[in-house]
Amino acid sequence: MSATPTLEIRNLHIGIDGKPILKGLNLTVNKGEIHALMGPNGSGKSTLANALMGNPKYEVTDGQILYKGEDVLELSADERARKGIFLAFQYPTAIPGVSVANFLRQALAVRRKEMGEAKPMPPKEFRALVKEKMALLRMDESFAGRYLNDGFSGGEKKRAEILQMAVLKPEIAVLDETDSGLDIDALRIVSEGVNALTGPDLGVLLITHYQRILNYIKPHFVHVLVDGRIVKSGGAELALELEKQGYD
C-alpha cells in the first residue's frame, strides 16, 4: 500500500464571482519534492495559491485539497498554517509594531502546540534558532528587531518569509511568485535559502511565471497550467523548453 501523499489536489474547480478559473486541477506534492507550477498570466496560478491557503474570496465548486489525507477545504487559513502548510505571498503585508522576532515567537508557539509541544520554546533556544536561520539566509541580526515588512524592500520581504519557513518547519511550502520584483542578488539569496531548507521533510510548490528562478532552485517536476488545467508535466527540462518556445 502506498503512503498517503502530503498534499493532494483532486479535480479542483474554483470560481470568482461565478467565473470559473480552475477547471479540474490535479496535483500531488510529497515531502522531499520540489514542484514548479508555471503558466501564462491569467492561467490560475495565484488562484491555486489562494485556494490552498483558504482565501474565502475563491469559491471551490468541486474537488478536494487533501493534506496528509485530510480534506482541508473547511479549515481556515490559520488552521491550515498550524497544521504545516506554509504560503509565501507575492505581496506580504506589513505589520507595524510587531517585530520579526516577536511574530516568529508567537507563530512558532502555535505551530509547536499543533505538534504536541505544549510549552513555548525557551527564549535562549529560540534566539539561537533564529540566529542560526538568519545566518543561513545571510541576514543581519538587527533584522529580527525590525517591524515585520514595515519599510522592507522587496528582497527583505521575501527573505523574511523564507526565515518564517525556516523557523516554523512546515511540511508543505507554497511559494507564490517568490521571484517577482527581486533583483538578481536578492533572487540568489532567497533561492539559496529555499535550497538550504528543502530536504526529506519539506515539499515545495513553487508557482512562477518565469524560468529564471529555476536556474537557482532545481525542481524535480515542472507542470504547465493553461486556462485552469495542467496541460503538461515533466522534469526540469520542461521549464527550459517553455523559456525557448513560450506557452503557446
Q: Is the pLDDT of residue 92 over 90?
A: no
pLDDT the model gives residue 1: 44
pLDDT the model gives residue 106: 93
Averaged pLDDT score across all residues of the chain: 90
pLDDT the model gives residue 188: 87
Long-range pairs, 132-137, Cβ under 8 A, ≥24? 133/163, 133/166, 133/167, 134/163, 136/166, 136/193, 136/196, 137/162, 137/163, 137/166, 137/189, 137/192, 137/193, 137/196
Q: What mean pLDDT comes out for the span 221-239? A: 94
The pTM (predicted TM-score) of the whole model is: 0.91
pLDDT the model gives residue 90: 64
List for the chain the helix, strand, coil content (%; round to 5). 35, 30, 35
Element housing 26 (H / E): strand 19-29
Q: What mean pLDDT comes out for the span 99-116? A: 93
Q: What mean pLDDT comes out for the span 43-48? A: 92
Amino acid at 58: Y
190: left (phi over 0), alpha (psi -120 to 50) or beta: alpha
Q: Which domains does the chain have, with CATH numbers?
A: 30-46+75-245 (3.40.50.300)
pLDDT the model gives residue 178: 79
